[in-house]
């Protein structure tokens, strides 16, 4: 019985084990990267522009810092950080905010997001905006409830005091009048020796009358205060203000559909997969036929780009803001993937394909094409900036929405440099470590 080269050689078993591990590699990396993104929302950075410095706004910023990464910035710097995706959101505290609090007038905060940077990030931050507005609404309702209770308590106290004072005033007036009548009668009936004490009584009676007058004036002031409190109570809001009154939301580079937000990721990803699959029919080989393999695979690659871009523009509502940049970006990305994967196939053989698959899996989780990288584990955050798929996603996002503008030029240079280097290594170097998987059936 003939032995199978694949099953009877060390090289064959290495290839089998590598292929067996691919599903684990795919699921492990991808699920590990996005196992609990909502549990790390506090990693998303927020810039706060405080145009109304006061003790009240300091307390507000402190409350934001309890659940978020908050940095105080100028308006200019905050706008720049948002455009480069260094921060996920900008919160502006308007100049009139503190004065509004003092006058019990609601001045909305200003929230700014950029959906073009990362669609899912903007969705998550919109929920965070609603949470902040709800917190402000709750605090405002508590403040109003305390104010109403204080006014009601003061009103009840003043009413009670006013009633008691009124009754005391009536009693004192009656007694004073009675005393005045009896004093006058005694003055006409008693001798002169008693007149002097009676005169003293009459003088004290005059003082009592003056005191009564002052008491009456105090009663009038209490009544006036009661009216002021009643008027304040009538001005308190009878129903809670809407959430929209506590903040205004501005979304830059708006993305209308979920698919549009994920398009950069899947466009770049599909070109990588297409290039990798092409190595099945055009594997690496002898150097004397390298030109033929390069020309044929190059033609297939460019055809993939044309069919991908043209087909999606026809069947899906993708409308790039910069159509020429969109096409140029896809051609550059297609050329770069072709150059990288052909280098792996020519120099490493079947092992190069396995490495291309491993790179694909790592880039699936580390490119930031879906959830923002701040929500991923530390490994993926560390390698994100060095992954070609990260550059490609950023470049396509720019062509679709004009977001991440400052990074577009840098990403273009990185992709072009990688393409040229890989092509030069493939074309002009002879060294190789080609690993060819043995066949399952022996050759006759």
Query: Does residue 293 lie in a domain region?
Result: yes
Query: Does residue 325 lie in a domain region?
Result: yes
Q: Same structural domain for residues 134 and 198?
A: no
Q: Same structural domain for residues 208 and 306?
A: no
Q: Answer whether residue 189 shows pLDDT above 70.
A: no
CATH code where residue 126 lies: 3.40.1710.10
Q: Same structural domain for residues 17 and 165?
A: no
pLDDT in tens, 20-69: 988 898 888 888 888 888 888 889 999 999 999 999 899 999 999 988 89
Confidence at residue 231, expressed as pLDDT on a 0 to 100 scale? 62
Q: Answer whether residue 78 shows pLDDT above 90.
A: yes
Q: Give the angle 340-310-424 at the CA atoms, nearest 5°.
A: 20
Query: Does residue 281 lie in a domain region?
Result: yes
Tell which wins on pLDDT, 264 or 181.
Answer: 264
Confidence at residue 199, expressed as pLDDT on a 0 to 100 scale? 58
Query: Does residue 170 lie in a domain region?
Result: yes
Q: Same structural domain for residues 106 and 21?
A: no
Percentage of the chain lying above the pLDDT 90 cut? 51
Q: Same structural domain for residues 122 and 192?
A: no
Confidence at residue 7, expressed as pLDDT on a 0 to 100 scale? 83
Query: Does residue 438 lie in a domain region?
Result: no
Q: Same structural domain for residues 192 and 298?
A: no
Query: Does residue 152 lie in a domain region?
Result: no
Q: Same structural domain for residues 95 and 126?
A: yes
Q: Same structural domain for residues 214 and 273?
A: no
Confidence at residue 8, expressed as pLDDT on a 0 to 100 scale? 83
Query: Does residue 298 lie in a domain region?
Result: yes
Q: How many domains does the chain fold into?
A: 3
Domain limit, last residue, from 223, 252, 281: 252
Give the pLDDT band (50/70/90) at residue 106. confident
Q: The tokens of 275 are what?
A: 């290039």
Q: Same structural domain for residues 411 and 271?
A: yes
* Domain extent at residue 165: 161-235
pLDDT in tens, 228-270: 655 655 555 556 677 778 889 999 998 888 899 999 999 999 9
Q: Answer whether residue 111 shows pLDDT above 80.
A: yes
Q: Same structural domain for residues 288 and 166?
A: no
Chain center to CA of 279: 42
Q: Same structural domain for residues 283 and 375?
A: yes
Q: Same structural domain for residues 67 and 180?
A: no
Query: Does residue 191 lie in a domain region?
Result: yes
């Amino acid at each position: 019985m003939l032995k199978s080269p694949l099953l009877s050689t060390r090289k064959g078993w290495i290839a089998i084990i590598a292929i067996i591990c691919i599903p684990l590699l795919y699921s492990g990396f991808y699920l590990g990267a996005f196992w609990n993104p909502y549990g790390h929302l506090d990693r998303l950075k927020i810039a706060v522009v405080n145009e109304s410095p006061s003790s009240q706004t300091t307390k507000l910023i402190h409350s934001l810092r309890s659940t978020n990464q908050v940095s105080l910035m100028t308006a200019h710097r905050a706008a720049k950080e948002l455009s480069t995706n260094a921060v996920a959101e900008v919160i502006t505290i308007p100049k009139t905010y503190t004065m509004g609090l003092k006058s019990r007038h609601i001045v909305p905060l200003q929230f700014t997001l950029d959906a073009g940077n990362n669609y899912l990030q903007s969705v998550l931050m919109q929920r965070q905006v609603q949470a902040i507005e709800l917190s402000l609404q709750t605090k405002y309702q508590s403040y109003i409830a305390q104010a109403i209770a204080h006014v009601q308590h003061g009103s009840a106290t003043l009413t009670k005091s006013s009633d008691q004072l009124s009754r005391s005033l009536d009693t004192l007036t009656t007694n004073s009048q009675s005393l005045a009548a009896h004093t006058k009668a005694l003055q006409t009936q008693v001798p002169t020796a008693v007149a002097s004490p009676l005169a003293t009584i009459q003088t004290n009676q005059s003082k009592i009358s003056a005191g009564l007058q002052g008491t009456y004036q105090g009663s009038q002031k209490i009544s006036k205060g009661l009216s002021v409190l009643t008027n304040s109570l009538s001005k308190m809001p009878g129903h809670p203000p809407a959430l929209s009154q506590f903040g205004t939301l501005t979304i830059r580079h708006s993305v209308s559909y979920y698919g549009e937000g994920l398009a950069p990721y899947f466009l770049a990803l599909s070109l990588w997969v297409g290039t990798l699959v092409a190595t099945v029919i055009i594997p690496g080989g002898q150097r004397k036929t390298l030109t033929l393999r390069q020309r044929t695979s190059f033609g297939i690659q460019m055809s993939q780009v044309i069919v991908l871009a043209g087909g999606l523009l026809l069947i899906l509502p993708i409308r790039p803001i910069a159509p020429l940049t969109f096409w140029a970006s896809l051609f550059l990305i297609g050329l770069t993937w072709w150059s990288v994967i052909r280098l792996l196939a020519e120099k490493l053989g079947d092992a190069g394909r396995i490495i291309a698959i491993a790179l694909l899996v790592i880039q699936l989780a580390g490119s930031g094409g879906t959830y923002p990288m701040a929500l991923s584990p530390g490994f993926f955050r560390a390698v994100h900036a060095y992954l070609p798929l990260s550059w490609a996603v950023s470049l396509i996002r720019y062509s679709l929405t004009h977001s991440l503008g400052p990074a577009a030029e840098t990403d273009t240079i990185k992709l072009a440099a990688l393409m040229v280097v890989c092509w030069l290594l493939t074309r002009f170097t002879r060294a190789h470590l080609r690993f060819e998987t043995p066949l399952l059936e022996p050759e006759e």
